[in-house]
Amino acid sequence: MSSSLRSTQTIAVLAVTQLIGWGTTFDMLGVMGRVIAPQLGLANEIVFGGLTIMMIVSALIGPATGRLLERHGAARVLAASSIVFAIGLLLLAASHGIVLYAFSWIIIGIGAALGLTAPTYTAVVEREGANSKRVIAILMLFTGLSSAIFWPVLSLLTAELGWRLTFVISAALQLFVCLPLYLLALPRPVATQAANAEMLRPPVQLSTSDRRKAFLLIATTTTISTFVTFGLAPSLLEVLRQYGASPALALQLGSARGVIGISARGMDMLLGKRGSPIVSATMGIGLMVTSFALILVIPPSTSLLVGFILIYSFGSGVMAVARALLPLALFSPREYGLQAARLSLPQNIANAIAPVIFTALLDRTGAGTVMTVCGLLAAISLGFVTTLATLIRRARPVVQVA
């Protein structure tokens, strides 16, 4: 199989499975949460707490997933995720109270650790080696479209068939679409001698202490940035309203954020081999810092809010790609799965707690405080990624052997 055909097949398989994976789990409550809540006799915040359970469980399982990826390869781990997701979704369909509902999200959280983000990108790295950046960026474009595709589909199914049968259909998608694709359609990892040598070759040579320091810098900068973006996302419309936007304008700007973020991911895809995760991270966080500085310094106006959304959304979109690719700036492709899964632990915990903290901060202190906290955290993250860039710049590049 040619390299281009292998890449196309890998993208096709993982794009479909990631759309289904995100659409039937993380994105699902956006349209079904308020339908489920009254029928289970639960408050909306308890129902939406399922996402917090999912992210925390996924974080805690992350390091173990890394070891599974190293031992068994991504295809088997991803296949296991389809089975686990199906079990969790069927349990949701059978739920009649908080106990089984919460347990269902624990199972889905395990499935998320096995099937979303790090394992998927590991599957790419196994098949593309060090030249995985463009394929990962393409996959992130599809991930960004999951809610746009699945919200109307799930809404229609729920209205026509009810939410319990919709969960059963979602489980069937995992078992009868995702599972066969992982086992039968995903190309095998490249197994030539040259490819195996490339998989073992790190991009730079670092001492043990510098390697540990670099890992901590990546973990810190990515965790802080994801804390800001995940924390601000559910509160963004209210922040814009407090800065003077009408409800209609706030909704328009909030909707534009997703489109702009996806365009930023597309930029990394177009750069391909010419791109650098370090440069992307520095640019992404730098744009986020700039956006928060503008909204804190310049008096509120419509043009200011438009500029803020443009700069912040593009910066956070670039940083989303950089978070996935930064391990490739330090570790060999063979190590990617283990290290990316280790990094997912603090990131997913940040994702789980950030919306609660930001919502409380906004309700008690106002949008100005929220923007100040975001700006300070983004500036700290920029300092860490700059230190990381300096550390890697001083390291010796690994000589490529023909």
DSSP 333-383: GGGHHHHHHHHHHHHHHHHHHHHHHHHHHHHHH-HHHHHHHHHHHHHHHHH
Q: How many domains does the chain have?
A: 2
- Give the pLDDT band (50/70/90) at residue 155: confident
Residue 130 has a pLDDT of 61
Residues 137 and 281 in one domain: no
Q: Are residues 27 and 49 in the same domain?
A: yes
Whether residue 186 lies inside any domain: the answer is yes
Q: Is this structure's pTM higher than 0.85?
A: no
Are both 188 and 243 inside the same structural domain?
Answer: no
Helix (H) or strand (E) holding 8: helix 3-23
Can you give the CATH number for the domain in which 326 is found? 1.20.1250.20
Spell out the alpha helix ranges (H) of 162-246.
163-173, 179-180, 193-200, 208-232, 236-242
Does residue 263 sit within a domain? yes
CA dihedral 272, 276, 281, 287 (to 10 degrees): -70
Last residue of a domain, one of 140, 168, 195: 195
Cβ-contact 14, 139 below 8 angstroms: yes
Confidence band, pLDDT 50/70/90 cuts, at residue 193: very low
Looking at every residue in the chain, the average pLDDT score rounds to 86
222 burial type by CB count under 10 A (0-12 exposed, 13-18 middle, 19+ buried): buried
pLDDT for residue 240 is more than 70: yes
Q: How confident is the model at residue 202 (pLDDT cuts 50, 70, 90)?
A: low
- First-to-last alpha carbon distance for the chain, in angstroms, is 22
Q: What is the DSSP letter of 190?
A: P
Q: What is the mean pLDDT of residues 127-144?
A: 78
Least confident stretch, 109-123, 243-257, 329-343, 346-360: 329-343
Task: Name the percent of the chain lying above pLDDT 90.
Answer: 42
Query: Are 184 and 208 members of one domain?
Result: no
Q: Cα(92)–Cα(86) distance, rounded to whole angstroms?
A: 10
270 and 346 both lie in a single domain:
yes
The pLDDT tens digits for 69-102 are 988 999 999 999 999 999 999 999 999 999 999 9
Q: Decide if pLDDT at 110 tops 90.
A: yes
Quick one: pLDDT at residue 332? 76
Same domain, 363 and 267: yes
Does residue 350 sit in the same domain as residue 392? yes
Confidence at residue 274, expressed as pLDDT on a 0 to 100 scale = 58
Question: Which domain range does residue 67 map to?
Answer: 3-195
402 within a domain of the structure (yes/no): no
pLDDT at 398 over 60: no
3-state percent breakdown (helix, strand, coil) of the chain, nearest 5: 85, 0, 15
State the pLDDT confidence band at 368, using cuts at 50, 70 and 90.
Answer: very high
Judge if 221 and 150 occupy the same domain.
no
